[in-house]
Amino acid sequence: MIRHLFKLIWNRKKSNFLLITEIFFCFLVLFGVLSFIVYNVRNYTRPLGFKHENVWLLTMRPSTDSTAQNRQIVEQVIQRVRAFPEVDQASLISSNAPFSFSQMNNHFSYGDVKRIDSDVYEVQDEFKDVMQIQVNQGRWFGTSDDASHHEPVVINKALQRVLFGEEDALGKIIHVDDSTNFQVVGITDYYRAGSEFSAEDPAVFTRINLKKNPKYFANEMLIRVKPGTGIDFEEKMVKEISGIGKDWALEVATLEKMRQNKAKVTIIPMIALGLVCGFLILNVALGLFGVLWYNISRRNSEIGLRRALGAASGQIYRQFIGEVLVLATFGLIFGVLFAVQFPLLQVFQVDSEVYFIALAGAVVLIYLLTTFCALYPSRQAAAIHPAIALHED
């Protein structure tokens, strides 16, 4: 029966070419959209590696270009902020705060592994407490590292995998472009500062040591406030800081609001792609339904003859369902051959599992779509009375 259906569809390949092509392109669009969705959903289910609730970002823009003067003001500001009873802890940070649209990266090397690109986060010792980061191996850097020969760094597991493999990373010396040496003192499991939908990229935390680097200047500060702290404290804090940094432009944002804004960058395209994909599926469904209806009207004599020879209505019903599934199979064969190249070639450096899940999902959806579209026309074909069909012919 299956062989007969394949032969039947193949003999009518010219008349079914357009429909097979529609199914092929529908599968490709489904595969692309599902790959995008699966990739982001898998990332969303992974831990961020920090807690952003009750954390504010204070951005300070100096009114002068005097680095020494601005540095003194920043030191006074951070001391005043930490003194507020509403503040649990505060830390200076480079411009790439969590959920911001800024990035900093560099190339790190160890042994034979050269120039691995990694995000770099310059933070103070208190950053661990501000973001409540868990260091699973080793420790976080602190004042005990002031006398260290090499600058201490904390890395995440993503960088450990690509830089050290199975080797223990603690205590190892890594290099930046063969000029600066850092010593790994701690490893954290996750740190995804881009957004909830971003992948786990290699990350390095370097230490801001104001005593050792008198020329260093940072104009952003992360502040963990006590739960329930609201806009009243924000106004009070900004007013007092404005008295320290005269004519400085100050901006306060919550990481929760920044998280929501960053998430929209991913959610809105997913919704848009979903709508486009849904419109395409609707068009394919209407095309399938129309073609099946037209084929049934042209094949009344064939149906009537089969019924007269003793074919049951259920056999007619299953035949037309089978023809549609075979038609979908022809479109899917070419689509799967094209889609399987993505995991094989590691396109976009995405895990192969993402592509295989999307591929399987697209195949299932195409078969469900074609079966659903064939149900009613096939039922109508099965209900044709042989005497009436042969009389009309």
Show the DSSP H helices in the chain as ranges. 2-11, 13-44, 67-83, 127-131, 157-164, 231-244, 255-298, 300-308, 313-339, 341-345, 352-382, 386-392
Tens digits of per-residue pLDDT, 300-317?
666 666 666 666 677 777
Show the DSSP H helices in 135-254 as ranges. 157-164, 231-244
β partners of residue 106:
118
- pLDDT at site 379: 76
Task: Give the tokens for residue 27.
Answer: 């599968």
Distance in angstroms (rounded) separating the CA atoms of residues 258 and 101: 10
Q: Are β-strands 249-254 and 87-93 bridged in parallel, bridged antiparallel, or unpaired?
A: unpaired
Instruction: Tell me which residue has tokens 């289910």.
Output: 45
- pLDDT at site 378: 74
Listed as ranges, residues in the chain with pLDDT below 50 are: 389-390
Which candidate, 204, 219, 121, places its Cα nearest to that of 160?
Answer: 204
- pLDDT at site 80: 94
The domain spans of the chain are 2-45+261-392, 63-247
- pLDDT at site 177: 72
- Residue 175 near residue 108, CB atoms below 8 Å: yes
- pLDDT at site 1: 52
Quote the pTM value: 0.85
Distance in angstroms (rounded) separating the CA atoms of residues 131 and 134: 9
- pLDDT at site 123: 96
Return the number of other C-beta atoms located less than 10 Å from residue 167's C-beta: 10
Distance in angstroms (rounded) separating the CA atoms of residues 52 and 323: 55
Task: Give the tokens for residue 211.
Answer: 């005593």
- pLDDT at site 205: 97
Sequence-separated (6 or more) residues with CB below 8 Å from residue 26: 280, 281, 284, 331, 366, 369
- pLDDT at site 90: 97
Terminal Cα-to-Cα distance of the chain (whole angstroms): 26
Q: How far is CA 110 from CA 124, 170, 184, 383, in A?
A: 25, 13, 11, 74
Tens digits of per-residue pLDDT, 26-38?
899 999 999 999 9
Torsion sign (Cα): 190, 194, 197, 199: negative
- pLDDT at site 385: 60
- Residue 240 near residue 197, CB atoms below 8 Å: no
- pLDDT at site 301: 63
- Residue 327 near residue 292, CB atoms below 8 Å: no
